[in-house]
Amino acid sequence: MKNRIGTKSVFYKINGKPPMTPAKAPCLSILGTGSDVGKSIIVTALCRIFKNQGIRVAPFKAQNMSNNSFVTPEGDEMGRAQVVQAEASGIDPHSDMNPVLLKPNSDMGAQIVLQGKVIGSQTARDYYMHTDGLFQKSLESLNRLRDEYDLIIMEGAGSCGEVNLRKKDFVNFKMAHAANAPVILAGDIDKGGIFAQLIGTLAVIPPEDQKRVHGFLINKFRGDSSLFQEGIEYIEKQTQLPVYGMIPYYHDIEIDAEDSVLLDSLIDPIAMPDKNTIHVAVIRLPHISNFTDFLSLQRNSSVTVHYLASPRKLEGYDAVILPGTKNVRYDLQWLVESQWKSILQTYRNQRGQLIGICGGYQMLGKQVNDPYGVEGSPGETRALGFLEQETTLQAEKVLSRTSGIFLPYQSKVEGYEIHMGITRSTGEKQAPLIRIESRNNKIVDDVDGTCSPDGKVWGTYLHGLFDSPYFLENFLSSLAPSYQNHEQISPSASDFKDRQYDLLARHFKQFMNMESLKKIIHI
């Protein structure tokens, strides 16, 4: 985190007396009755509301589990949900906002990122046996944020009422107790059973946790809110705690999703491509990561994006993308066994632009070598063979904020790299894809990516490529020469997201009792 001079960081002696210890910023904890009840969105909305009121606010989640990660300005790795919340707060993301990140690389295990750096992989059983040290590191991160900002909005994980995991759970009540943070319990009425969610969660947690809960938020309501007034009265009577708001479901606000829960609802559409839009297929790999790479494509009215898991013919698609993955070798085997490899070969022979991003880029080569067992047992896996290159996985992860020139279009691009492999060309006819000009704010002279001689197959390690407006316009024009850029270049992804955060804040503020909420935080 950058050193800043401010009221919380520098205290001068007055009248010869030693400086007083500064009070740490207050915290508010948003815990949930389960996964996907909207905790991340609630924190995002609150961060924007307080930011718009002139309060220096920051998000915090002690431990996140997601393969959708990001590189901070310092070159550290953190979960995308807290990046979104930092953007809503108007501040740079920092790994202290998400000190523990779990990146699942199998059904039973995950890579562990601690305060921005990989420290290894563990099974779930081993992980839960060693959470005390992770709690202390998370507390260090939280305290640094409390010294830096005026208010911290904390997010829990999953359900805070998992009684069998309570002793090892440092994300929910243990962290709230440590920060002396009032807890707001959030439930999702759209899932059904909101009374059981809220009242039931309160009933199963121990008395010390119950005392920490100050009230409730009901999320994702559909219909006439006046019809649920009796329901609110029932909850408040049964618990003797207030409902601070009931937030209606929204359809016209786009906030980046935390993980693949939303993505799973979009895969394998029945409709096949038509001729009215540009059609892009993204192969929904088992360990897909950083699918937010394609949100700018999805938001473009001239583009239809299909996420495909079940093998199908690719006729009619203008481009097919292999996305990032947390387990390249496993997903390569899945492509072979599910018949996707032969389908991709047919697509390549018939027409298409075939594109690989990060792990997908590694898949396009001839072989992936894993001498250190980064993704399981050491060994080698034959790749798809569309590019003359091979990849060797390394024990140390590359983390970089990167900018350069996309050579085929001569377009400025920027994004970030997160990968544990080094890819080397094994052929002479392939050209580099991007001239790298800077990494982590340092000027460099390097190249990234590979392009086939006919320009139809290419790959890169650069995430966020499609967020660069000029690159996106050139890319879409290459797929459809008749594509019109609507008289001006589309707004940047950052400008688009900034407008969405304001819409989200306005929506939540309209249906929340913010004055009562501020009283329990004492701000």
Nearest to 400 by CA among 1, 75, 74, 70: 75
Nearest to 338 by CA among 263, 268, 387, 270: 268
- Secondary structure of 233-256 in the HEC alphabet? HHHHHHHCCCEEEEEECCCCCCCC
Nearest to 387 by CA among 363, 371, 359, 357: 363
d(CA 138, CA 131) in angstroms, rounded, equals: 10
Q: How far does the chain reach from its first CA to its final CA, in angstroms? A: 24
- Phi and psi of 111, rounded to 5°? -80, 140
CB 348 within 8 A of CB 381: no
Tell me the DSSP string of 260-316: HHHHHTSBS-SSPP-SSSEEEEEE--TTEE-GGGGHHHHT-TTEEEEEE-S----TT
d(CA 71, CA 73) in angstroms, rounded, equals: 7
358 is catalytic: yes
The DSSP code for 96 is G
79 bridge partner residues = 69
d(CA 312, CA 67) in angstroms, rounded, equals: 26
> What does each C-alpha distance from 10 to 140, 143, 148, 254 come to in angstroms?
19, 16, 11, 39
- If you search the block for the tokens 């009792």, which residue do you land on? 513
d(CA 149, CA 516) in angstroms, rounded, equals: 22
Q: How many CB atoms lie within 10 A of CB 424?
A: 10
The DSSP code for 14 is B
d(CA 482, CA 476) in angstroms, rounded, equals: 10
d(CA 245, CA 368) in angstroms, rounded, equals: 51
**Structure-token pair, residue 367:** 């072989």
The residue from 27, 47, 160, 358 that is catalytic is: 358
Q: Residue 166 region, left (φ>0) first, then alpha (ψ -120 to 50), else beta?
A: alpha
Active site residues: 358, 463
